[in-house]
Amino acid sequence: MKVEFKSDNKKLQRHLRELSEKHAPAAQSFALNSTAAYIKREAVKIASKATGVPTTILKNRIAVPRGKKSTIRGLKTVIFGGLWPVKVAKLKPAPRKLKSGAVKYKTMKGEPVNPNAFMGKNTNGSDSVFVRKGAGRLPIKNITLEIGPQVERAIQGFSGGQLAKDKYSKMLFSQMDRRVRGGLIRMGVKVT
């Protein structure tokens, strides 16, 4: 008695090729974008604690631009941290004028309030805190907080950490599983 088994490896090779060409890059791209969004959220929290600037302002400053997100063809994503200063008039608590005539406003930890500061209106009508550049009445400039170094440290410190790496690997494996299952179901294979 002779028993022979034949296997059709072409179908298996086609499945493996589809897995390596379509599903793996799509899963990697999704995992990169998801990890970038996670890093952005955590960097906003860290920078807010370090600077005292509300998260609502920092959410607009730390972003993943649409054109810089990962795609199947380009497996790279960029997190942009806006390093320009924040006007103290936009911070909470709002600046206020004291009875003595001085202006009280929020500063970074350890920085003093400028005694020559005064409140005025911007050209658009909103209140702002100014200081004179010279001895004359003009020119004047807005008082701002430099948040650039803290934002940069928050992004770099968190993106290289173990939490970000764990998030990426977790998302990658869950997406690979999801996409492979979907591909097998489309091919007519029952998956449990």
Least confident of 6-10, 53-57, 154-158, 184-188: 6-10
pLDDT number for residue 22: 76
78 vs 67, 81, 120, 146, 180, CA distance in Å?
9, 10, 39, 22, 27
SS3 call for 120? strand
pLDDT-derived band at 114, boundaries 50, 70, 90: confident
68 burial (CB, 10 Å; 0-12 / 13-18 / 19+) is: middle
Report the pLDDT averaged over residues 23-47. 87
**What is the spatial distance between Cα 46 and Cα 32, in angstroms, rounded to a whole number?**
21
Q: Where are the domains of the chain?
A: 9-85+147-186, 87-145
Report whether 105 contacts 137 (CB < 8 A). Answer: no
pLDDT at 3 > cutoff 70: no
The 8-class DSSP code of residue 25 comes to H
Pairwise pLDDT comparison (80 vs 16), residue with the higher score: 80
**What is the spatial distance between Cα 82 and Cα 154, in angstroms, rounded to a whole number?**
12
Report whether 49 contacts 65 (CB < 8 A). Answer: no
Q: Phi and psi (nearest 5°) for 86? A: -110, 135
Please state the pTM of the whole predicted model: 0.72
pLDDT number for residue 4: 64
Report whether 41 contacts 74 (CB < 8 A). Answer: no
pLDDT-derived band at 187, boundaries 50, 70, 90: confident
The widest CA-to-CA distance across the chain, in whole angstroms, is 110
Report whether 62 contacts 40 (CB < 8 A). Answer: yes
- Size of the chain in residues: 192
Report the pLDDT averaged over residues 31-54. 86
Report whether 94 contacts 103 (CB < 8 A). Answer: no
pLDDT at 1 > cutoff 60: no
Burial 143-153 (b: 16+ CB within 10 A, else e): bebebeebbee
pLDDT-derived band at 5, boundaries 50, 70, 90: low
**What is the spatial distance between Cα 57 and Cα 151, in angstroms, rounded to a whole number?**
12
Pairwise pLDDT comparison (13 vs 26), residue with the higher score: 26
Report the pLDDT averaged over residues 49-66. 85
With CA atoms as reference, report the closest residue to 186 among 17, 15, 24, 29: 15
